[in-house]
Structure 1
Amino acid sequence: MKKIQMNKRKWLLPAVAALALALSACGSSPDGQTGEQANSSAPASSGTTAKEKVVKDGMGHEVTIPAQPKRILGSYLEDPLLVLGEKPVAQWSVASGTQQYLEKELSGVPTIPSDLPPETVLSFAPDLMLIGNESAVAKGLYEQYSKIAPTYVLGSEINNDWRKTLRKIAELLNKSDVAEKALAGYEEKVKATKEKVGPKLGDKKVAILWVTKKTFYVVNGKIASGAVLYGDLGLKMPNILAVLPEAKANWVSISLEKLAELDADYIYLVNSDKGQAGNLEEPLWKNIPAVKAGRVYEMDRTRSWLYNGLIAGTKVMDDVVSSMSQ
């Protein structure tokens, strides 16, 4: 097992090393932080003085977690970090953009490519790196990241469940009570949403589709907005979702011919092709019962329907309530 210590980073550029030492030295003294730092996390929520601790991550690495990390890099983990009151030092991005449903919360936070190039990571001088899946640290990347900052890999078993992810990150940051309070609030939101939409959707089948580059995708039912509608709210799945093979992907492509068999009463359509007619003008699409009945609710791709997390789920529920009030 490789134990990661701050004093193993002597190879860093002098300026970065000095910054890292200053950040770790300030530990439990928030008043010593400068205005230049991107994160102003609160002290440990338990009310006790936070201490550095050594823990094992999802891959078995021994990782030294700083007492009070101030420059956390958690690419694609911004949702749980924000729930815990932590503003990351940089945010996930791809060629098509960022997680736009978090645009307001992450205002002013610079972007970092989703593949996390080590040299770019180094430029942000993080004092803690949080990684979702094991694949993100393959081919020697873990060794490179761990020389820059303590690097904790959640592992797919935790990362694939946003509640487990939130609780694990909260545990690392000594904010478990913050997480539990947020989760309790989420469950209250679920209850209230059921009461609002139940009379209209209770016995109806609901489909969630995504169209991008003129290809349709259906959520696999266990993640993203599928987990919210079918898991949290208990809404009924359409026939095509029930017969899809088990898939690791969040969204599974489906032919228009197969989609024509859809028996959903309502469709939530995440449209990344907005402004392009594409398959939405095809007769097979127009003849789907829910489409003919005008029960298609189009969601812009900037909404949270493609993502996992407490904030994402909360926004999805708001969208469902809004659509049912139309």
Structure 2
Amino acid sequence: MFKKIVLGTVTLLALLSLAACGQSSESKDATNEVRTMTDAQDHKVEIPQKPKRIIASYLEDYLVALDEKPVAQWTVGEGRIQHYLQDKLKGVPTINYDLPYEDVLKLEPDLLLIGANGTLEGGKYKEYAKIAPTYVVKNGDNVTWRDQLEIIGNVLDKQDQAKKVEKDYDQLVEQTKKDLKDKIEGKSAAVLWVTNNSAFMVADNRSSGQLLYDELGFDVPQLTKDISKKATADFSQVSLESLSQLDADYIFLVNSDSGAAMFNDPLWSNIPAVKNNQLFEFDGKSSWLYNGPIAYTKMIENIREVLK
């Protein structure tokens, strides 16, 4: 009887051990599971099911919106970071915008998301792909932040969360149009960026211009229309003489040079929106120079605050 009990116990333990091994093996396989996806440059990329160490230079807005924290964050020059994201990225080390190979290697990423084709010039894709799966996100003039959010949501298998981010954003846009109806309908607005004593104006179909005109419904000033025809970037330089003719009801100013001499020039003082105290200023740490769901949401919050 005793031998039977011992044998039975041993057999049971052996079965449990085998089952545990099987579960461990399955668990390990699940952890190592990959999905093969084709990126914007037709690379076949094996995406880990749940990447833990992501580098996505200048795409951090999308990661944060999808509740992902990268192992490094974009910078250009000394101290130039996306300040508006620091409530989520504080303490995350920086990596230069051009992703130096040695710096990427040291960070041991398990996924690289590339948001600019220029980053890959000189055959750099093959070098990055040796370090980690490297996925090029569709980018360029006709690619919106919504496009990139959906692509990244797909790569990270967070499609539903990406859709929710868009839905929440759209609800904020509609609520803002309703709340500020009297301040928006029939009113024109322009976005300026002043840096190094030079002024730049946003194009009507890019960045904050797309937000103001296409989504919120502000009228486009004639000067903005003229600038937009030749625009090759989000912001185009504009002379102070041209700005003196700016007929916008509101000016949203991103001021990265508070001591600029141009602010003391009579031409600046006589701009209608400046004379009428309809100039609303944000510093260079605000989200107005960036793209992404969080950047756009914060712009809307700024507009709601100053026009309420």
TM-score calculated relative to the size of structure 1: 0.83
Q: Which residue pairs with 2:290 in the alignment?
A: 307
**Aligned-partner Cα distance in 1 for 2:176–2:30:** 40
Q: CA deviation at 1:28?
A: 4.5
**Aligned-partner Cα distance in 2 for 1:27–1:66:** 11
**Aligned-partner Cα distance in 2 for 1:159–1:282:** 37
Q: Which residue pairs with 2:133 in the alignment?
A: 150
Residue by residue over 1:25-54, the C-alpha shift from the partner in whole angstroms, topping out at 9 and shown as x without a partner, is 96745xxxxxxxxxxxxxxxxxxxx94111
Q: CA deviation at 1:157?
A: 4.5
**Higher-helix-fraction structure:** 2
Residue by residue over 1:51-104, the C-alpha shift from the partner in whole angstroms, topping out at 9 and shown as x without a partner, is 411111101111111111110100000011111111011000111510011111
**Aligned-partner Cα distance in 2 for 1:259–1:166:** 35
Query: Residues 251-290 of structure 1 correspond to what in structure 2 (within 5 A)?
Result: 251-274=235-258, 276-290=259-273
SS of residue in 1 equivalent to 2:180:
helix
RMSD of equivalent CA atoms: 1.7
Q: Which residue pairs with 1:214 in the alignment?
A: 197
Q: Does 1:91 align with 2:73?
A: yes
Residue by residue over 1:263-286, the C-alpha shift from the partner in whole angstroms, topping out at 9 and shown as x without a partner, is 101100100002x14211111111
Q: CA deviation at 1:147?
A: 0.7
Which residue, 130, 142, 150 being the options, matches 1:167?
A: 150
**Aligned-partner Cα distance in 2 for 1:189–1:247:** 29
**Aligned-partner Cα distance in 2 for 1:149–1:129:** 7
**Aligned-partner Cα distance in 2 for 1:123–1:231:** 43
Question: Which 10-residue stretch deviates more, 262-271 or 89-98?
Answer: 89-98
**Residues 223 and 308, structure 1, Cα contact 8 Å, conserved in 2:** no
Q: Whose Rg is larger? A: 2
SS of residue in 1 equivalent to 2:288:
coil
Q: Which residue pairs with 1:35 in the alignment?
A: none
Q: Which amino acid aligns with 2:219?
A: K
% identity of equivalent residues: 44
SS of residue in 2 equivalent to 1:222:
coil
Query: Residues 47-66 of structure 1 correspond to what in structure 2 (within 5 A)?
Result: 51-66=33-48
**Aligned-partner Cα distance in 2 for 1:81–1:125:** 18
Q: Which residue pairs with 1:231 in the alignment?
A: 214
Question: Which 10-residue stretch deviates more, 180-189 or 239-248?
Answer: 239-248
Q: CA distance change for structure 1 residues 132 and 158 in 2, over 3 Å: closer, same or farther?
A: farther
**Aligned-partner Cα distance in 2 for 1:259–1:219:** 13
SS of residue in 1 equivalent to 2:289:
coil
Is there any run of 5+ residues in structure 1 with no aligned partner, and where? Answer: 1-24, 30-49
Q: Which amino acid aligns with 2:245?
A: E
**Aligned-partner Cα distance in 1 for 2:158–2:177:** 29
Q: Which amino acid aligns with 1:191?
A: E
Q: Which amino acid aligns with 2:66?
A: L
Q: Which residue pairs with 1:77 in the alignment?
A: 59
Residue by residue over 1:172-219, the C-alpha shift from the partner in whole angstroms, topping out at 9 and shown as x without a partner, is 111100100111011000011111222112111101000000000001
**Residues 196 and 260, structure 2, Cα contact 8 Å, conserved in 1:** no
Q: Which residue pairs with 1:318 in the alignment?
A: 301
Q: Which residue pairs with 1:103 in the alignment?
A: 86
Q: CA deviation at 1:135?
A: 1.3
**Aligned-partner Cα distance in 2 for 1:207–1:270:** 11
Q: Which residue pairs with 2:223 in the alignment?
A: 240
Aligned residues: 280
Question: Which 10-residue stretch deviates more, 210-219 or 155-164?
Answer: 155-164
Q: CA deviation at 1:155?
A: 2.9
Q: Which residue pairs with 2:234 in the alignment?
A: 250
Q: Does 1:68 align with 2:50?
A: yes
Is there any run of 5+ residues in structure 2 with no aligned partner, and where? Answer: 1-26
TM-score calculated relative to the size of structure 2: 0.87
SS of residue in 1 equivalent to 2:186:
coil
Q: Which amino acid aligns with 1:203?
A: G
Which residue, 295, 299, 302 being the options, matches 2:278?
A: 295
**Aligned-partner Cα distance in 2 for 1:54–1:77:** 21
SS of residue in 2 equivalent to 1:103:
helix
Q: CA deviation at 1:148?
A: 0.6
Q: Which amino acid aligns with 1:271?
A: N
Q: Which amino acid aligns with 1:113?
A: N
Question: Which 10-residue stretch deviates more, 242-251 or 198-207?
Answer: 242-251
Q: CA deviation at 1:222?
A: 2.1
Q: CA distance change for structure 1 residues 141 and 26 in 2, over 3 Å: closer, same or farther?
A: farther
